[in-house]
Amino acid sequence: MIKEKKKYFINALKHRADIYRFIGKYDNSIDDYKKIITLCKKNENHNQFMIAEMMILMANTILMAERDYKTCKEIIEKALKKINEKRNPEFFADGLGNLGQLSSQKGDYEIALKYFRRTMSIYKKIKNEHGISMTLNNIGTTYWHKGELDRALINLKKSLKISEKLGQKNDVGIVYSNMGVIYRNKGELKKALKYHNKQLSIAKELGYKRGIGIASGNIGIVYDDRGEIDIALKYYKKHLSISEELGDRQGIGMASANIGVAYYSKDEFEIALNYIKKYLLIAEEMDYKLGIGLACSNIGELYIYLGKYHKANMYLERAKLILTENDNKIILTGVYTNLSELNYVQKNYKKSLIFAKQAYSFVKKTNEKEDEIRTLRAMGKALYKNTVTSMKKDMKNIRKAISYLKRSASIAKKTGRNIELAKSLYELANILLHENELMEGKSHLKQARKIFKKSGSIVWLERIEKLFSKKMVQQRG
């Protein structure tokens, strides 16, 4: 009778721990898993499998709450030693899958893919469709981190098909979220918004607060891309509020980073810097390399606009080192584009062009649209300055520089990235006006001014008015 009561109590604790984890009360969940492990160990004939199961669930929860990779890895590896792969293949595969996720999030993508392939092999043997679906999702997100968007999407679509067949709503929501991110990277903002809104609906239906926060953040990013900064900020702040309520450090960091980028678009640089530095601090606490690299790149970009070039270079070089080690081509592209801009404003035009070309070589591999817009713009600006400051003015290179900027503006317009469109139109107009192609140059400048007025970017509007005034004086002269 006592043994039965203990068994029921353990099952009740596990059920409560799972609920705590789902609703984002991670500390409560971890405490319950620890209690179960302690209870199991007190039993003379304690169940090693039950202990291992709780250890893996606890490690997974620690990862969600804190991203403490070292602790999680140690716990999972100890757990896997307690169970036999042949006797408990499903749970052994779950453990391997968790090690794969750890590796992917640390930026060790090839190691992650090895774990996932081994996991997939076990799930296929035992015909565990849910396991197959989630492993396909994990493989997809790893390829996304590597910048292989089409391969990522292929795996995610397979995962979605299985999850929908099984009626696993939460899993469907997770896959929707990842697909939305990839469609956004591919420049398909309408599709991205559709999938993020689908995830939001599922998360609300299930009462999954963390999911509501993640979906809100992703929806904000799409509005940000479209130049609707104030709407984006509302979604970002909702994500931040939910993450703070749940004590979700990763969510707090990501929301802070997005809020910082939005304020940067509104020219509120000091506010932007504070939010992004907050993200950097959290990423450093968690040893989240990808986050550290992204934060350093964004801070470096901000320091360029603040005219603090030494600081900008320090942060960008740190980002380059971290992201080169992790081989994250999407974020690395942004770092090289920012290094191109840093050298451009310091009038190191040759070096600026080298960095821009390197950034564009990554884009050819990833096909990420925002990066393509920015790298084409960087190449156009740098090539033009290289040409006009050289001994011999090569008209072919000037036309090539103009073509880069026209392509940049065209992609931005096609994908609905209005802020990027305005920036490319401004740089295009700048060259055209210098080349006395006044009618076309002024037309592009007016379009850029209209977009920047809507987004409330005072700095860019001042640049436009300055360029207009300069050309008017030149014409009168």
CA distance 156 to 175: 6
Q: Regarding predicted confidence, which is higher, 25 or 424?
A: 424
Question: Among 82-96, 148-162, 374-388, which is the least confidently predicted range?
Answer: 82-96
CA distance 229 to 272: 13
CA distance 359 to 267: 25
CA distance 223 to 421: 14
So what's the pLDDT on residue 11? 84
CB-based contact 220:236 (threshold 8 Å): yes
Mean pLDDT of the chain: 91
Q: What is the pLDDT of residues 353-405, one digit of tens each?
A: 999 999 999 999 888 999 999 999 999 999 999 999 987 778 999 999 999 99
pTM strictly above 0.75: yes
Say what percent of the chain tops pLDDT 90.
Answer: 68
Q: What is the pLDDT of residues 284-326, one digit of tens each?
A: 988 888 899 999 999 999 999 999 999 999 999 999 999 998 7
So what's the pLDDT on residue 1? 44
Please choose, from the candidates 28, 82, 17, 25, the residue with its C-alpha nearest in 3D space to the C-alpha of residue 53: 82
CB-based contact 254:232 (threshold 8 Å): no
Answer positive or negative: Cα dihedral of 129, 133, 139, 142.
negative
Tokens coding 347: 């009038």
Per-residue burial over 389-409, b if 16 or more Cβ lie within 10 Å, else e, is eeeeeeeebbeebbebbbbbb
CA distance 215 to 223: 13
CA distance 477 to 469: 12
Q: Counting beta carbons within 10 angstroms of the beta carbon of residue 114, is it exposed (0 to 12), middle (13 to 18) or buried (19 or more)? A: middle
Q: What is the pLDDT of residues 202-235, one digit of tens each?
A: 999 999 999 999 999 999 999 999 999 999 999 9
CB-based contact 69:62 (threshold 8 Å): no
Question: Residue holding tokens 């968790």?
Answer: 98
Please choose, from the candidates 67, 59, 56, 61, the residue with its C-alpha nearest in 3D space to the C-alpha of residue 21: 61
Q: What are phi and psi of 100, to 5 degrees?
A: -65, -45
So what's the pLDDT on residue 473? 43
CB-based contact 313:93 (threshold 8 Å): no
Q: Is residue 39 scored above 90 in pLDDT? A: no
Q: What is the pLDDT of residues 101-117, one digit of tens each?
A: 888 877 788 999 999 99
Task: Return the DSSP state at 308.
Answer: -
**Integer angstrom CA distances of residue 207 from 198, 222, 248, 378, 430:** 14, 23, 16, 45, 51
Q: Is residue 66 scored above 70 in pLDDT? A: no
> Which domains, and CATH codes, for the chain?
1-127 (1.25.40.10)
So what's the pLDDT on residue 328? 82
CA distance 216 to 219: 5
CA distance 377 to 374: 5
3-state secondary structure 382-417: HHHHHHHCCCCCCHHHHHHHHHHHHHHHHHHHHHCC
Q: Regarding predicted confidence, which is higher, 87 or 397?
A: 397
Percent helix, strand, coil in the chain (nearest 5)?
85, 0, 15
Arithmetic mean of pLDDT, 80-108: 87
CB-based contact 289:273 (threshold 8 Å): no
Q: Is residue 148 scored above 50 in pLDDT? A: yes
**Integer angstrom CA distances of residue 151 from 143, 144, 158:** 6, 8, 11
Tokens coding 477: 């002269």
